[in-house]
Amino acid sequence: MAEVHRFTENALSDWMKGDGPDSDIVISSRIRIARNVRAYPFPMLATNQQSKEVLDKVSEVLGNEELDTISRFTLLPLSELDELKRRVLVEKHLISPALANESRNGAVILSDNESISIMVNEEDHLRIQCLCPGFQIKEAWDLANQIDDLFESHLEYAFDEKRGYMTSCPTNVGTGIRASVMIHLPALVLTQQINRILSAITQVGLAVRGLYGEGSEALGNLFQISNQITLGQSEEEIIDNLHSVVRQIIEHERAARQKLAQESRAKLLDRVSRSFGILSYAAIMDSKEAAQRLSDVRLGIDMGFIKKVSPQALNELLVMTQPGFLQQTAGEKLSPEERDIRRAQLIRDKMSESDEAR
Q: Which residues are annotated as a binding site for ATP?
A: 28-32, 93, 127, 178-182, 209-214
Contact 207, 251 (CB under 8 A): no
Cα angle for residues 19, 24, 26 (degrees, 5° grid) = 85
> What does each C-alpha distance from 84 to 162, 255, 354 come to in angstroms?
43, 42, 28
Which DSSP string corresponds to 3-64?
HHHHHHS-SS-GGGGS--TTTTTEEEEEEEEEE-BTTS--TTT--HHHHHHHHHHHHHHTT-
* Residues contributing to the annotated binding site: 28-32, 93, 127, 178-182, 209-214
> What does each C-alpha distance from 87 to 41, 236, 319 come to in angstroms?
27, 33, 11
Residue 279 to residue 301: CA distance in whole angstroms: 14
Contact 15, 136 (CB under 8 A): no
Nearest to 321 by CA among 299, 289, 297, 353: 289
Phi and psi at residue 286, to the nearest 5°? -85, 170
Residue 159 to residue 174: CA distance in whole angstroms: 9
Residue 231 to residue 175: CA distance in whole angstroms: 6
Residue 296 to residue 313: CA distance in whole angstroms: 14
Q: How many CB atoms lie within 10 A of CB 31?
A: 27
Chain length of the chain: 358
Residue 242 to residue 239: CA distance in whole angstroms: 5
Contact 128, 108 (CB under 8 A): no
Strand partners, 208: 225
- The packing angle between helices 311-320 and 336-357, to 10°, is 160
DSSP class of residue 23? T
Residue 322 to residue 83: CA distance in whole angstroms: 14
